[in-house]
Structure 1
Amino acid sequence: MLSDSDMATVMVNSAPSSDGPVPHAVSVSDILVNGPSSTVEDYITETTEETKTEESQLDMFRSKGPSSPALWTTRRDGEVKLRLDQHGIGSEKPKTVNELLQESVRKYGDYFALASKKGDKWIKQTYRQYYEECRKAAKSFIKLGLQRFHGVGILGFNSAEWFIADIGAILAGGFAVGIYTTNSPEACQYVAENSGANILIVENDKQLQKILEVQHKLPLLKAIIQYNDELKEKRPNLYTWSEFMSLGRDIPDSQLDTIIDSQKPNQCCTLIYTSGTTGQPKGVMLSHDNITWTALSAGRYVRLTEGPEQQELVISYLPLSHIAAQMIDIWLPIAFGAQVFFARPDALKGSLVDTLREVRPTAFMGVPRVWEKMEEKMKSVGAKSSALRRKVAAWAKEVGLQTNLKRMKGSSELPVNFRLARQLVYKKVRKGLGLDRCTKCYTGAAPITKETLEFFLSLDIPVYELYGMSESSGPHTVSLPETFMITSCGKEVTGCRTMIYKPDSDGSGEICFSGRHIFMGYLNMEDKTKEAIDEEGWLHSGDLGKHDKNGFLYITGRIKELIITAGGENIPPVPIEDAVKEAVPIISNLMLIGDKAKFLSMLLTLKCNVDGETGEPEDDLTPDVIAYCLKLGSKATKVSDIVGGKDKAVYAAIQKGITSVNEKATSNAQKIQKWALLEKDFSIAGGQLGPTMKLKRPVVMKMYKDQIDQFYTDV
């Protein structure tokens, strides 16, 4: 376990504050009185005339007349029919992004919104200052010639400038377009070209060079802005952030307000590009209403507290080109007045835990790899503890797991040994991780193993799974403390609906979504849009899943990943892959193979250290793998020791784990007949994993074709 000495101390002058407004703030009562949120229900109590006006505005979006918009569009200037409900949260009045921002300023204007660390101090901006900066950026975009419904591409690590550029682009009438920092120059070019980007924002010279390499292929590009570091060279139409922010000082408010007033809730404001694991990235068009309604509905569902009540604190570190980070870091905080702290750029290389300890967030989202890395680190630290400490930890974890599994099934009993373990172990672990006041720990964006979920549950840290996609504006189902089943991704956010399409005898079929969070369409891709949204308006996710008798949703695989053997049996790979990972804890990544083949085979990689700068996997095994090998009687410390020498003890242990999984297989076709250990782990840098650590199966099939072919020769 992490000792008290491991815990970072926070300097008084730099400690994050959630104690409300800065000294010159108006009173909380003023904020609450002057800034109520508008709902359809509020208007019912107004005069009859006002009610009629409100209803006529909503009817505009509900209209089903011959000239009314369709449920989807692929045009950049297109409009869609909003999926308004007659009652409940789905009937809330549609808002534009600007309306959400103005409401936020009325409610939380003098509360801190953004916190950026400069040296050892947090530099903070209030919601009022934040909005003014967004308007300034919007005016500068207008000055640079940003055209209506054209992109502003943002390529860099999370920062206040990223947020301001994103919102400024929307206010100026353009599209906010995040670009993955891991993208190649060619991939950046594709997104810029597809989105019709007039302006590109880059973090530093490294990202700038990617754009300069392809700039001659981007005729619509008018300007590039670099928001971090000094410019290494002066070029035409290349600006620093401060230069950019002063460009629009001559643009009158009235000019910006005219553009803002022309915006409608059912028009596109943001493009999210899919990671392209199965082909060219698609530009997911999200409307103002997609974003503002989803933030409201999801925030209420997970019971985020509003700023004046108790300000939520979150850390921004996941890629903002992904919908999960945008919704959690940008839009939910604006809707509920949370304070966002920006992590350091090397967060995923080790500094995240320091930021966690300093900020002590109230809500935290980690992709599975983040939770797995925490688990590995804690196991490594625990292995070096004294025998007594290890014994106490093992006891506490057993008590924690059993108690929480019972609580998950409805028990409210907290036995004495659990309360004792909480004092001796759980509280210290939470404090050591910086999660001591975090009541909402989430995971999503990729599958997480049952082993990792149980590890944290045993330490009284329930990690709640959420599920959704770019095309659903982020969350569709979420687990909550009172609706939580391990390995399930919870139940629908209020106002969202699920259908299991063509279920099999086990109840498993394609998961389909409906609600106001469903995207507008893929930019300029009509065929792909028609594949995704059916004639009745259901979004087909491409994921396979089923509901249990209590309505919990379980993901069982992806249709495109489904393995159909030569014998015609349909096999979802993920459950088998998860079972092997659980049976063989030294495995880092793996992939099941067998489409159109006579039997299943598998590629596996070992857990190893990762280069902090490049993200490349190294040859050195992680400490927990070395310890595991020692228990087997192996002295291996490197991947090459095991793979190169075909280490008998390790290979036997892997075979034993795979055999145990095979014994539980429902048919012979689902048994793994052959497997191979690869010399190098999968990584983003290597191309086998996408930006959110999702496995790029077609890439792996191509890269390791020789090894795969070898499985099926001489058969």
Structure 2
Amino acid sequence: MNDGPDQLVPVNNYITWKVDGAVKLRVERSGFASEEPISIPSLMNRAVEKGPDNPALIVRDPKTNEEKIWTWKGYRNDVRNVAKAFIYYGLERFNSVCILGFNSPEWVISDVAAIHAGGTATGIYPTNGPEACEYILKDSNCAILVVEDDNQLNKVWNIVKDSPQIKKIIQYSGKVMKPGVVYWDDCVKHGEVLPDDDLQERLRGMSINQVCTLIYTSGTTGNPKGVMLSQDAITWTAWISCKMHKFNMAGNDERILSYLPLSHIAGNLIDIWSMMICAGTTYFADKNVLKSTLKENLHWCKPTRFFGVPRVWEKMMEKMLELGRSTKGLKKVIATKAKKAGLEHHLNHNGGKKFEIFQKVVFSAVKVGLGFDQCRGFYSGAAPLANGTFRYFLSLDIKILELYGLSETCGPLTFQLPHQFRENSVGVVVDAVKTKLERSSDPEVEAGEIWGWGRNIMMGYLNRQDATQKDMTDDGWFKTGDLGEIDRDGFHFIVGREKDLIITAGGENVAPALIQDKVQEELPIIAHALVLGDKQKFISCFLTLAVEVNPDTLEPSRRLTPAAIDWCRSIGSTANTVTDVLKGPDSRVMRGIQAGIDRSNKKAVSNASRIQKWMILPQDFSVPGGELGPTLKVKRQYITKRYQKSIEKIYDL
């Protein structure tokens, strides 16, 4: 095979777990799945042709606000130079380039350069601890390690300094403190003077249906698995996502704010590959973006598309609600009427002239204030978006379209579209992708498991024949592990995750996600609700109180949020902290929570789904505490193990 990068290895298998393996592409004769496969190097060349001097990557100094801009031509030059340096440093075909650090142009360039050099690009969450980092470095066969700064390198220094498989360490920020570490600028300059011969040889040996990227699952139960994504899975999924959401694919005016981890499939697909599809611009937020500077970054970027995980949308809503509580008089009346008209327009198509007026007077001002005045698409994914959050933004004429998918589906499997939209659903399948509901292998599970098939499906799990064959069929269907329903119009509804499904002692199936959402909607004082009751006589629930979070450490404090305090005042409580609530405990708060639980229980789908007992945990869930993963998903197994004695107390075990 010497005709790359746009060649295909002739194979008939749809799955593999070998790093040098290849898979058959699910290319159809017509429709969107018939789109000609394209390699990542060719996709980059196409983006450069659209506008070589247009901005591709922009970052700014947080102290001076001075911008540094890579044009598409400059971006490609740096990719090629870094790829040549990687090869020179010892990167062999299918070796991994691991990238450990916060989002930056250097992160993206390293990723794309690793693929150009014939390696596999592998992101590591910057919040990962030493053990998690070590596992990925070894499992991916890392040859080149790119780190942000000395703080990140310190986590793995004892692992990598004497590791013969790691040929070179490159640092892209801060001062180099460790011996043998190459600074980023020196890496680029080294590549500039190297001939193109070795790089061209790697490109000629490249195939579209082989692995180019490893996305490691968050590993909420045991070690993470390396999801193998082919070049076609990435380029086709990015293309179909942009096409279905009507991105300007002619190039040059789409803008994205990069702030979610690039090691996660969502950030990776949107910030790198979708922008390459439409030759748009990726702006890189500063490191405090999720602590305090999101609004400032949005005003700088003026994104045309914005993707947030549910917690980002929730935090934004909380700040807006806090501001709204200080609004009085006529402004308050107008705002209330505007929100009502917004919901009527979007849910019942009945806003009329009122909506048009409020759109010009109120909603446009809200979007300007948020930095969304040029935004054409709002999206949420990685975890379910609470209906209350969705409706709040919808009332402000911000329609958040929910996407459903996994790392194994290269991001989206289904998504909502402005013209194909149904409340509480995760939308319809991506065009040219198939889904079906299959009976679970567990005979006690009644709901159907969602399976997916298409060009976006992974090749398999790296070095894991067992896991690959467990989660995929030989004819290419991927078993998501998520339980769902599909209505007659093709809209998908997620009931829960199979491994999270609770089966009571009476044999009733209970989906905890739906119950948890209802509790949080009823009770502003609650940050997290975790339903319990597997193999028990009744359903119970852990609750955590909504508290302020330390912006530097992300650790929860003891002080309640303004919204939680307002709720306490509304029921006659003077509580300001978790301690105030739990000492005694505060009878008014306890009665208020029980009333909210009662309201939630009235909406239960069955008697078995009603919460009989609940317990407030002394601390909210967090990433530092280990209860939340990097994408803020709740680690059910970790929590139930940690609070096993509390569970035993609830059930008198």
State the TM-score, normalized to the length of structure 2: 0.96
Secondary structure of 2:215's aligned partner: strand
Q: Answer yes or no: is 1:453 the counterpart of 2:453.
A: no
Q: Is the 8 A contact 1:511 1:545 kept in 2?
A: yes
CA distance in 2, matches of 1:522, 1:384: 52
Q: Answer yes or no: is 1:297 the counterpart of 2:230.
A: no
- How far 1:644 sits from its partner (Å)? 2.6
Tell me which residue corresponds to 2:421.
484
Question: Which letter does structure 1 place at the counterpart of 2:66?
Answer: K
Q: What is the correspondence of 1:256-295 to structure 2 with a 5 Å cutoff?
A: 256-295=199-238
Candidates 345, 348, 361, aligned match of 1:424: 361
- How far 1:219 sits from its partner (Å)? 3.3
CA distance in 1, matches of 2:163, 2:400: 44
Question: Which letter does structure 2 place at the counterpart of 1:207?
Answer: Q
Secondary structure of 1:475's aligned partner: strand
CA distance in 1, matches of 2:479, 2:150: 40
CA distance in 2, matches of 1:649, 1:428: 39
CA distance in 1, matches of 2:91, 2:539: 53
Gaps of 5+ in 2: none
> Which deviations, in whole Å up to 9, do the C-alpha atoms of 1:485-531 show, x marking residues without a partner?
12211111212111111399999411111111111100000010011
> Which deviations, in whole Å up to 9, do the C-alpha atoms of 1:287-310 show, x marking residues without a partner?
1111111111111111110254x6
CA distance in 1, matches of 2:56, 2:190: 24
Question: Which letter does structure 2 place at the counterpart of 1:93?
Answer: E
CA distance in 2, matches of 1:356, 1:209: 32
Tell me which residue corresponds to 1:550.
489
- How far 1:427 sits from its partner (Å)? 1.2
CA distance in 1, matches of 2:446, 2:429: 18
Q: What is the correspondence of 1:111-510 to structure 2 with a 5 Å cutoff?
A: 111-118=54-61, 119-215=64-160, 218-231=163-176, 233-236=177-180, 238-308=181-251, 311-407=253-349, 414-502=351-439, 508-510=447-449
- How far 1:249 sits from its partner (Å)? 3.6
CA distance in 2, matches of 1:250, 1:554: 55
Q: What is the correspondence of 1:622-641 to structure 2 with a 5 Å cutoff?
A: 622-641=561-580
> Which deviations, in whole Å up to 9, do the C-alpha atoms of 1:373-424 show, x marking residues without a partner?
00000001111222332222222111211221013xxxxx551221222233
Secondary structure of 1:198's aligned partner: strand
Change in Cα spacing, 1:217 to 1:489, as seen in structure 2 (3 Å) is farther
Question: Which letter does structure 1 place at the counterpart of 2:234?
Answer: I
> Which deviations, in whole Å up to 9, do the C-alpha atoms of 1:638-688 show, x marking residues without a partner?
111112331111111110111122223233221111111111110111100
Question: Which letter does structure 2 place at the counterpart of 1:368?
Answer: P
CA distance in 2, matches of 1:536, 1:93: 22
Q: Which moved more, 1:214-223 or 1:264-273?
A: 214-223
Q: Is the 8 A contact 1:178 1:320 kept in 2?
A: yes
Tell me which residue corresponds to 1:698.
637
Q: What is the correspondence of 1:664-679 to structure 2 with a 5 Å cutoff?
A: 664-679=603-618
Q: Which moved more, 1:120-129 or 1:158-167?
A: 120-129
Question: Which letter does structure 2 place at the counterpart of 1:272?
Answer: I
Change in Cα spacing, 1:505 to 1:489, as seen in structure 2 (3 Å) is farther
Q: Is the 8 A contact 1:143 1:247 kept in 2?
A: no
CA distance in 2, matches of 1:249, 1:662: 66
Secondary structure of 1:351's aligned partner: helix
Q: What is the correspondence of 1:3-42 to structure 2 with a 5 Å cutoff?
A: none
Q: Which moved more, 1:114-123 or 1:263-272?
A: 114-123
Secondary structure of 1:165's aligned partner: helix
Q: Is the 8 A contact 1:507 1:546 kept in 2?
A: no
- How far 1:204 sits from its partner (Å)? 1.4
Candidates 659, 675, 689, aligned match of 2:628: 689
Secondary structure of 1:188's aligned partner: helix
Q: Is the 8 A contact 1:579 1:661 kept in 2?
A: yes
CA distance in 2, matches of 1:324, 1:654: 35
Q: Answer yes or no: is 1:562 the counterpart of 2:501.
A: yes
Gaps of 5+ in 1: 1-53, 408-412
Once the two structures are aligned, what percentage of the paired residues are identical?
44
Question: Which letter does structure 2 place at the counterpart of 1:268?
Answer: V
CA distance in 2, matches of 1:157, 1:485: 35
Tell me which residue corresponds to 1:39.
none
Tell me which residue corresponds to 2:549.
610
CA distance in 1, matches of 2:322, 2:434: 43
Tell me which residue corresponds to 1:38.
none
State the TM-score, normalized to the length of structure 1: 0.88
Secondary structure of 1:633's aligned partner: coil
Q: Is the 8 A contact 1:199 1:223 kept in 2?
A: yes
CA distance in 1, matches of 2:295, 2:31: 40
CA distance in 2, matches of 1:234, 1:703: 38
Question: Which letter does structure 1 place at the counterpart of 2:371?
Answer: G
Question: Which letter does structure 1 place at the counterpart of 2:274?
Answer: L
CA distance in 2, matches of 1:546, 1:507: 11
CA distance in 2, matches of 1:645, 1:398: 40
Q: Which moved more, 1:540-549 or 1:322-331?
A: 540-549
Q: Is the 8 A contact 1:142 1:248 kept in 2?
A: no
CA distance in 1, matches of 2:195, 2:300: 41
- How far 1:606 sits from its partner (Å)? 1.1
CA distance in 2, matches of 1:181, 1:486: 35
Tell me which residue corresponds to 1:597.
536
Q: Is the 8 A contact 1:111 1:307 kept in 2?
A: no
Q: Which moved more, 1:103-112 or 1:220-229?
A: 103-112
CA distance in 1, matches of 2:91, 2:171: 17
Change in Cα spacing, 1:368 to 1:636, as seen in structure 2 (3 Å) is same
Candidates 97, 104, 107, aligned match of 2:47: 104
- How far 1:703 sits from its partner (Å)? 1.2
Question: Which letter does structure 2 place at the counterpart of 1:404?
Answer: H
Change in Cα spacing, 1:712 to 1:157, as seen in structure 2 (3 Å) is same
Change in Cα spacing, 1:414 to 1:592, as seen in structure 2 (3 Å) is closer
CA distance in 2, matches of 1:155, 1:712: 44
Q: CA RMSD in A?
A: 1.9
CA distance in 2, matches of 1:95, 1:297: 13
Question: Which letter does structure 1 place at the counterpart of 2:396?
Answer: L
> Which deviations, in whole Å up to 9, do the C-alpha atoms of 1:48-81 show, x marking residues without a partner?
xxxxxx9xx99x66x6xxxx34111111111111
Q: Is the 8 A contact 1:488 1:555 kept in 2?
A: yes
Secondary structure of 2:80's aligned partner: helix
- How far 1:127 sits from its partner (Å)? 0.7
- How far 1:368 sits from its partner (Å)? 0.2
- How far 1:198 sits from its partner (Å)? 0.7
Tell me which residue corresponds to 1:42.
none
Change in Cα spacing, 1:453 to 1:180, as seen in structure 2 (3 Å) is same
- How far 1:456 sits from its partner (Å)? 0.3
